[in-house]
């Protein structure tokens, strides 16, 4: 049950109307949301997740309104500004507290459209079909794109990064996997991309899933794709981005028959090091003084160590709450934040180590990193990757200047820039991936 409380600053203002805004999610990225608040029939949209017209119940009162959505567990405490045009406040979901900010849309105005010129538009010179992939515990919903012709075609399974990603790995309106899949399919490579479990049309629970579940899902997708008509079973590879690039080597090593891997923005440090280093880097680029960033880093590492060492979720939650309260954070806020830190995925991710799988990887592998990646820092991770793949004679490691974690051309690399950059993925990255996969599977 989602409860979204909209608290008006003054009775002269009404929260009724259309509100365009965004939720600031971990690492500083933004998830666009749209509120349509009416007397009856109110709804909420999440455009990046292709979720629109989700029914919500609105109860008006003197200070504003309370909105309840039955499908997820979240709370937004919004304060209406004195000019009645801004609605902002904390957004709480799954134990995590985030910031949300909405701007009132002028009456009669259309929803803002963000420029995304690389998003492919029909008609397409290939076939695209919605498919269902059976998994041991869930059913994955996805899209299979097939080049024109008889085949059999080389193929790739795409594995998304962290978070409740859909099949397009949509971030800030950028449909990253759709853009890559379109380029590959146009060059004769079949592509399977799928919604994560519990996301989009896939069944199961995302909230209780860990990386081990995502490894199982990627393996199921790989086995399914090999069996499809028109697919060259001996030439099926994996493409992963961020956490997906951490999952791909494990799947390849266990399977033993993966033809190749493409690893984009690849972590090589433990999850604990990845989270701590990205938090410090993002804060510094955002203007936080070095002494403050250093102090925060010490606290962050202490917090992560306590959560990662806890034997169970409840112990982790208590430990995190105690540390946060000791810093002066109010108990209720500390408890809410600690609940998110103690989630199954987070605790498992902290202790995940990508290096053993990278060291064992002996299939043709392309690694692509951006020099301005602030989420998986290249200066920390690429030396480890080069060393891990030293014995892999078919590995190619490329660091491209000026690109961020999404492999967009960036000014600073901060995640706060992602939505303001029109380019979804730098064209030279698309060319590099497509040419390498085509030559590797020739």
Q: Which DSSP string do the residues of 25-79 spell out, in sequence order?
A: -GGG-EEEEEEEE-SSS-EEEEGGGTEEEEE-EEEEETTEEEEEETTS-EEEEEE
Higher pLDDT, 81 or 2: 81
In which order are the strands placed within the sheet that holds 365-370? 126-134, 139-147, 190-194, 153-159, 231-241, 261-264, 365-370, 395-400
| For the chain, the helix, strand and coil percentages under 3-state DSSP, each to the nearest 5 | 35, 30, 35
Q: Is the pLDDT of residue 1 over 50?
A: no
**Which pLDDT score is estimated for 403?**
98
Q: Enumerate residues 6+ apart whose C-beta is below 8 A from 275.
A: 300, 304, 349, 350
**Which pLDDT score is estimated for 81?**
82
Please name which of 161, 125, 132, 188 lies closest in space to residue 247, comparing C-alpha atoms. Answer: 161
pLDDT band at 389 (very low <50, low <70, confident <90, very high): very high
Q: Is the pLDDT of residue 155 over 80?
A: yes
Q: How many CB atoms sit inside 10 A of residue 269's CB?
A: 19
Please name which of 239, 213, 211 lies closest in space to residue 225, comparing C-alpha atoms. Answer: 239
Write down the pTM of the prediction.
Answer: 0.84
Place of tokens 């998304």: 160
301: which 2 tokens?
Answer: 């590492």
Q: Enumerate residues 6+ apart whose C-beta is below 8 A from 86.
A: 80, 101, 102, 103, 104
Q: Report d(CA 113, CA 38) in Å as an integer.
A: 22
Q: Report d(CA 251, CA 237) in Å as an integer.
A: 10
**Which pLDDT score is estimated for 72?**
66
Q: Is the pLDDT of residue 8 over 50?
A: no
141: which 2 tokens?
Answer: 């919903």
Give me the phi and psi of 329, to 5 degrees please. Answer: -70, 135
Task: Say if CB 290 and CB 306 are below 8 A apart.
Answer: no
19: which 2 tokens?
Answer: 């509100």
In percent, the amount of the chain with pLDDT more than 90 equals: 67
The fold of the 126-269+354-440 domain, in CATH, is: Rossmann fold (3.40.50)
**Which pLDDT score is estimated for 375?**
97
Q: Enumerate residues 6+ apart whose C-beta is below 8 A from 351.
A: 270, 271, 272, 308
State the average pLDDT for the chain. Answer: 90
Class of domain 2-104: mainly beta
Q: Report d(CA 148, CA 34) in Å as an integer.
A: 39
pLDDT band at 26 (very low <50, low <70, confident <90, very high): low
The CA–CA distances, whole Å, from 222 to 24, 194, 207 equal 33, 11, 23
**Which pLDDT score is estimated for 92?**
72
Place of tokens 């001996």: 234
Q: Report d(CA 51, CA 179) in Å as an integer.
A: 20
């Amino acid at each position: 049950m989602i409860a979204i409380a909209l608290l008006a600053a003054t009775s002269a203002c009404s929260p009724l109307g259309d509100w365009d805004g965004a939720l600031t999610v971990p690492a500083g990225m933004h998830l666009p949301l749209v509120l349509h608040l009416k007397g009856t029939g109110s709804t909420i949209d999440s455009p990046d997740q292709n979720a629109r017209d989700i029914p919500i119940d609105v109860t008006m009162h003197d200070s504003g309104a309370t909105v309840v959505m039955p499908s997820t567990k979240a709370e937004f405490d919004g304060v209406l500004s004195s000019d009645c045009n801004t609605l902002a406040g904390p957004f709480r979901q799954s134990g995590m507290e985030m910031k949300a900010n909405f701007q009132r849309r002028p009456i009669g105005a259309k929803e803002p459209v963000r420029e995304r010129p690389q998003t492919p538009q029909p008609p397409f010179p290939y076939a695209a079909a919605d498919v269902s992939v059976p998994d041991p515990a869930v059913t994955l919903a996805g899209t299979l794109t097939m080049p024109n012709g008889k085949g059999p075609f080389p193929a790739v399974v795409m594995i998304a990064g962290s978070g409740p990603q859909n099949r397009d790995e949509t971030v800030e309106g950028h449909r990253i996997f759709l853009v890559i899949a379109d380029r590959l399919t146009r060059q004769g490579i079949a592509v399977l991309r799928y919604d994560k479990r519990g996301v989009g049309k896939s069944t199961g629970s995302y909230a209780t899933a860990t990386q081990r579940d995502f490894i199982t899902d990627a393996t199921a997708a790989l086995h399914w794709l090999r069996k499809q008509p028109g697919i060259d079973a001996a030439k099926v590879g994996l493409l992963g981005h961020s956490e997906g690039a951490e999952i791909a080597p494990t799947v390849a090593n266990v399977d033993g028959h993966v033809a190749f891997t493409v690893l984009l923005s690849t972590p090589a440090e433990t999850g604990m090091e990845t989270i701590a280093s990205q938090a410090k880097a993002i804060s510094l680029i955002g203007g936080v003084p070095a002494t403050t960033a250093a102090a925060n880093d010490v606290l962050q590492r202490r917090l992560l160590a306590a959560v990662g060492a806890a034997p169970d979720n409840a112990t982790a939650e208590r430990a995190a709450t105690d540390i946060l309260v000791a810093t002066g954070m109010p108990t209720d806020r500390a408890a809410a934040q600690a609940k998110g830190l103690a989630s199954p995925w987070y605790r498992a991710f902290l202790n995940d180590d990508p290096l053993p799988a990278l060291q064992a990887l002996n299939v043709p592998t392309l690694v692509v990193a951006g020099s301005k990646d602030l989420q998986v820092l290249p200066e920390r991770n690429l030396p480890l990757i080069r060393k891990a793949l030293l014995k892999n004679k078919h590995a190619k490691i490329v660091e491209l200047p000026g690109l961020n974690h999404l492999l967009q051309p960036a000014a600073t690399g901060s995640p706060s820039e992602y939505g303001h950059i029109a380019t979804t993925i730098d064209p030279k990255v698309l060319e590099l991936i497509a040419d390498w996969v085509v030559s590797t599977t020739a």
